[in-house]
Homo-oligomer: A and B are copies of this chain.
Amino acid sequence: MQSLQAKASEWSGVKQDDAFAIDDTNLFQKLGLQTFINLSTNFYTRVYDDEEEWFRSIFANSKKEDAIQNQYEFFVQRMGGPPLYSQRRGHPALIARHRPFPVTHRAAERWLHHMQQALDGSTDIDADSKVRMMNFFRHTAFFLVAGDELKSQNQQPQCKHGTSNQTPSKNS
C-alpha cells in the first residue's frame, strides 16, 4: 500500500523535502506570534464567509474563534515556536482530529484557495516564507485527504466479518 506521505506528495505535487522546508529556518522567530494569529484570523474569516455553502458547512459545528486558535497554535508549534497546541490539547494527531470532517480532494483545494488568498493578503510575511508555508500547507492538505480515505477502507469489512482487514504495517 502506498504510504500516506507518498499519496500526499503525488496528489499535492509537492515533494516531501519541499513540504518540510519549513524546518530549514525558524519561521516563528522570523515572523512572530501576531503574524500567525493574523493569518489564521484572515483565513477563517474567508472560510466562514465562503460563498460555496458545501465548504462553509464543513465548519458549521465549530466556533470560529476556536478554529482560529487551534490553527495558529498548531502552526506556531510546528514552525519553531512554543508548544502552545500540545500544552492545551495534547498531540496534534492531525488525521484523527480531522476524522469528523469530509476531507476530499475538492475540500483540500478549497481550503488551499482560501489559505493562498490569506497569505497573499499578508504584508508581514516575506515571499520566501510564503512559498515554504504554502508547500507545507499543500502537502499537509493532501496528507489529510489520504488520511480521510483510511476511514472508508476500514469500515466495510467490519460489517461483513466483524474483524478488521487491516494488515499491521509500519508503512501506512
- Interface of A with B (CB < 8 Å)? 3-5, 8, 16-17, 19-20, 23, 58-63, 66-67, 70, 82-83, 86-97, 99-101, 139-140, 143, 147, 150-151, 154-156, 158-159, 164, 166-170, 172
Contacts and interface: CB of A to CB of B under 8 A. Distances in A.
A166 B70 CA distance: 20
A170 B45 CA distance: 17
B23 A60 contact: no
Given A94-B91, A154-B155, A172 B62 contact: no
B170 A66 contact: yes
A60 B91 contact: no
A16 B171 CA distance: 30
Nearest to A71: B170
A159 B158 CA distance: 8
B20 A61 contact: no
A40 to B, nearest CB: 13
B170 A23 contact: no
Contact of A3 (B61, B89, B154, B164): B89
Contacts of A90: 4-5, 8, 16, 19-20, 139, 143
A93 B3 CA distance: 12
A99 B99 CA distance: 13
Contacts of A143: 90-91, 93
Contacts of A16: 87-88, 90
